Structure 1
Amino acid sequence: MSHKLQGVSRPDPRDPAEHPVPAFPDDARAAATASDAAAAVSTASDDAAGEPAPRGRVPEPIKVLIAAAFVIALGYGIVAPVLPQFAASFGVGVAAASAVISAFALCRLVFAPASGAVVNTLGERPTYLIGLIVVALSSAATAFAQTYGQLLIFRGLGGIGSTMFTVSAMGLIVRLAPPTMRGRVSGYYATAFLLGGILGPVLGGLLAGLGMHAPFLIYAGALLVAVLVVYLRLKDETIGARRTSRAQPPMRVREALDAGAYRAALVSSFSTGWTAMGVRVALVPLLAVQVVGEGPAVAGLALALFAVGNAAALTVTGRLTDRVGRKPLVLTGLLVCGLATIGVGLSTSVVAFAVLSLLSGVGSGTLNPGQQAAVADVIGPDRAGGRVLSRYQMCADAGQIAGPVLAGALADAAGFGWAFGISGALMLLAAVAWLPVRDTLPPESRTQGPAPRRK
């Protein structure tokens, strides 16, 4: 038996051995508990920062994570344009050069379940720091790879560290972000990664004269800077546990699956990984050349417009998610991104290709804050959610790996229209999965007005 709280399943308290968390039998007590949780997380965030966070202001620990995300994405962007060329320098073909990129994503996917267990055992901050160090060492080793085999191994090992700091960062945001601004924080965090990813390749191009080894060493250095910042500025990641003198009970994946919002988020995470992360990067450049009849410049324009649309949406939708609810923004984003993706595959002119790429980015930026905030709502501030978050991340990684391969095969067999059509349809199916879901937005957020301006 379970009781429903804001779309989240709460186990029966009569079975503490199975799920040791309290149940709340009525909406009044549920609302009160949600308010208490918000206050507890806000207090924890204030203590972690060393001073109270003004109402409506992002807590200082979250700002640290956002700054670190920018540095990490900037470094990755520096490496991304060089990596395929570096692999090709060992005399391998296109498929083998691409496999180096896939090895990183594959290791992320395979190690994701273990990373969730590590987070629950060590805590978010230690796992985050260890993950960054592993990626830094992997990047430095990659710079000194002497054979293709070494390059493949060193780059793949970086995926292990990547999933460690990704899952732990999400866990820290769940714990430290007040429920009333989870969407806003998710938007800021995604924007930091996006801006770093945009500026990184530009900086990488300026550093091209230093040789193919330099970007990997620069990336390693950027990661060590992020390690230092997080180590010095984010020292108290287990505030909730210390205040209660006990470890937070871990949420089981089976328990999270009782929540409709979590199940729907897994579906939309997979479809987003497939379409917005995988197919967009792998097939848009080929579509630009073979169907639209233009060269790499137009392909680059389409990718840039997607990023612009994504960033523009994130500046607005994070706040809206905390006001009108998670579900409306997720549904809107899935519909816009899905329909625009289908349109991209049918484009025959540069103008249509560019506009639809922009709309795809707007849709992606609209759905992501609500999707991540809903997962955070399911976990709540009083549970350790490492395993739950790792499964959520696995779905995106699986989509990102499978999408380019299967959609690419479909493009070869039936054309780009079918490849992008199926990819867009996956987004629409994810929207269907969200339709019966009850919104997880805390009730106090719906009545909370804008924060008063400080005079």
Structure 2
Amino acid sequence: MRFSSGLISGKLVDRFGERAVLGFGLFMVSFFTLLTALAQSYGQLLTFRTLGGLGSSMFSVSAGSLLMRSVSDEYRGRAQSLYNGGFLVGGVAGPAVGGILSSFSLRAPFFVYSVTLAMAGTTALVFLSEKRLGNKADIPTNLIGQTTLKQAFKLRPYQIALALAFINNWVLFGLRSSILPLFVTEELGSTATVAGIGLTISALIQGLFLLKAGKFSDEKGRKAALILGGSYVLFGVLMLSFTTSPLWYFIAMALFGLGGAYVGTAPGSVVGDIINGRGGQVIGAWQMAGDAGMIVGPILVGFLTDNYSYQTAFLVSAVISAIAILLSVLLPETRSSHLDNGLIIDKNKQEL
């Protein structure tokens, strides 16, 4: 649902502004999460979670748009790193808290999640107000300008950012969260605890290097950050292809985390760099590309594993990672503060 509604959410952001869509999207997920907690059948569960996906799309697109629009390109990488860090901390803490709550009731985590989402929605609507910020968060689009999807698709950096979002989410999320635990238990003959330790190492390393990666992107360039991060990810995937012990698995996961800190930050900064004014649908399409990678990645690597081997799935993912590095090499630099001429829509050399 998140994938299919990305452009709709972007259109809403362009029409009503980030703050309204952000708050409404959070309250929408909160409401349907509450209904999920009260679901009496699998059909109801599926329906409520699906409808919550629309709110999730509205939240993520509007939050991304507000972040990219409010931060200059000199600090955009660091801002993106902090933003991603928030999701990383939540992704680690959420299952831990949910696991404790589920020992009391499997419905309890949904009730708590609904309450925290409502708190987040209130924060968006109240604390992003003009009275508290001293300036408007929801400036009308006709006053700040707009980058349309048609304009963005003409820019080579945006085209590459879409491809990188797809590839990086395939490898970093699809591969890591689908077959890796099975690889540890079935191929290495180890335990689920060892698999969990490896995923924890990856998350910790990524969290520790996020700010450094954002600063590197701001100072050395998006291109340099993507090439460096992509190289770490490629080495991690290749190491998995020939791993025979848990120790090598841990090292590979550390490389995944290190590379993820760089490649998880820079593509979003590229998109922010090329947007003039508001660009809800531009951001929506970029997030859809990432969601597509998270959908396609697990299915494809699962198919390759079932029909061939884990090593085949890893090697194919390594080839895809190598393509990401090649695209990063072809990426024109987009930081306007470090260029003689800014990336201006229809007045730049990046248009195809």
TM-score, scaled relative to structure 2: 0.91
Equivalence for 2:156: 260
TM alignment of 1:3-14, pairs within 5 A: none
Matched residues, percent identical? 31
Structure 1 residue matching 2:2: 3-state secondary structure: helix
Equivalence for 2:56: 162
Equivalence for 2:207: 311
Q: Give yes or no for contact 1:129–1:227 (8 Å, CA) kept in 2.
A: yes
Structure 1 residue matching 2:261: 3-state secondary structure: helix
TM alignment of 1:325-336, pairs within 5 A: 325-336=221-232
Counterparts of 1:435 and 1:207, CA distance in 2: 47
Tell me: CA distance 1:360–1:290, structure 2 relative to 1, closer, same or farther (3 Å): same
Equivalence for 2:331: 437
Q: Give yes or no for contact 1:337–1:427 (8 Å, CA) kept in 2.
A: yes
Q: CA deviation at 1:241?
A: 7.6
Counterparts of 1:247 and 1:146, CA distance in 2: 48
Tell me which amino acid in the other structure corresponds to 2:74: T
TM alignment of 1:23-422, pairs within 5 A: 107-236=1-130, 239=136, 242=139, 246-380=142-276, 383-422=277-316
Q: CA deviation at 1:271?
A: 0.6
Counterparts of 1:178 and 1:378, CA distance in 2: 12
Structure 2 residue matching 1:435: 3-state secondary structure: helix
Which stretches in structure 1 are left out of the alignment for 5+ residues?
Answer: 1-106, 447-455
Q: CA deviation at 1:345?
A: 3.1
Equivalence for 2:350: none
Equivalence for 1:453: none
Q: Give yes or no for contact 1:345–1:417 (8 Å, CA) kept in 2.
A: yes
Tell me which amino acid in the other structure corresponds to 1:364: G
Q: CA deviation at 1:356?
A: 0.4
Tell me: CA distance 1:116–1:294, structure 2 relative to 1, closer, same or farther (3 Å): same
Tell me which amino acid in the other structure corresponds to 2:48: F
Tell me which amino acid in the other structure corresponds to 2:266: G
Q: CA deviation at 1:225?
A: 0.8
Moved more, 157-166 or 232-241: 232-241
Structure 1 residue matching 2:3: 3-state secondary structure: helix
Alignment root-mean-square deviation, CA: 1.9
Q: CA deviation at 1:230?
A: 1.7
Counterparts of 1:188 and 1:255, CA distance in 2: 29
Tell me which amino acid in the other structure corresponds to 2:30: A
Structure 1 residue matching 2:188: 3-state secondary structure: coil
Q: CA deviation at 1:142?
A: 0.6
Higher relative contact order (CA 8 A, sep 6+): 2
Counterparts of 1:286 and 1:406, CA distance in 2: 15
Structure 2 residue matching 1:440: 3-state secondary structure: coil
Counterparts of 2:2 and 2:9, CA distance in 1: 9
1:422-442 C-alpha deviation (Å, 9 max, x unpaired): 122212201211212221123
Q: Give yes or no for contact 1:241–1:247 (8 Å, CA) kept in 2.
A: no
Tell me which amino acid in the other structure corresponds to 2:11: A
Tell me which amino acid in the other structure corresponds to 2:292: A
Q: CA deviation at 1:302?
A: 1.3
1:234-269 C-alpha deviation (Å, 9 max, x unpaired): 114984885x99444332222112222211111110
Q: CA deviation at 1:223?
A: 0.5
Counterparts of 1:410 and 1:342, CA distance in 2: 16
Counterparts of 1:124 and 1:314, CA distance in 2: 25
1:110-138 C-alpha deviation (Å, 9 max, x unpaired): 11111111111111111111110111111
Q: CA deviation at 1:231?
A: 1.7
Tell me which amino acid in the other structure corresponds to 1:254: K
Figure out how many residues of one structure are paired with residues of the other and give that number: 337
Counterparts of 1:327 and 1:393, CA distance in 2: 20
Counterparts of 1:241 and 1:191, CA distance in 2: 25
1:356-386 C-alpha deviation (Å, 9 max, x unpaired): 0111111011122221111100103xx2211
Q: Give yes or no for contact 1:119–1:386 (8 Å, CA) kept in 2.
A: yes
Tell me: CA distance 1:216–1:321, structure 2 relative to 1, closer, same or farther (3 Å): same
1:120-168 C-alpha deviation (Å, 9 max, x unpaired): 1111111111110111111111111111111111111111111111010
1:180-209 C-alpha deviation (Å, 9 max, x unpaired): 100000000111110111111222222233
Counterparts of 2:211 and 2:219, CA distance in 1: 14
TM-score, scaled relative to structure 1: 0.71
Counterparts of 1:177 and 1:443, CA distance in 2: 13
Q: Give yes or no for contact 1:268–1:427 (8 Å, CA) kept in 2.
A: no
- The structure that has the greater radius of gyration is 1
Q: Give yes or no for contact 1:112–1:394 (8 Å, CA) kept in 2.
A: yes
1:87-119 C-alpha deviation (Å, 9 max, x unpaired): xxxxxxxxxxxxxxxxxxxx0011111111111
Tell me which amino acid in the other structure corresponds to 1:135: V
Counterparts of 2:54 and 2:182, CA distance in 1: 30
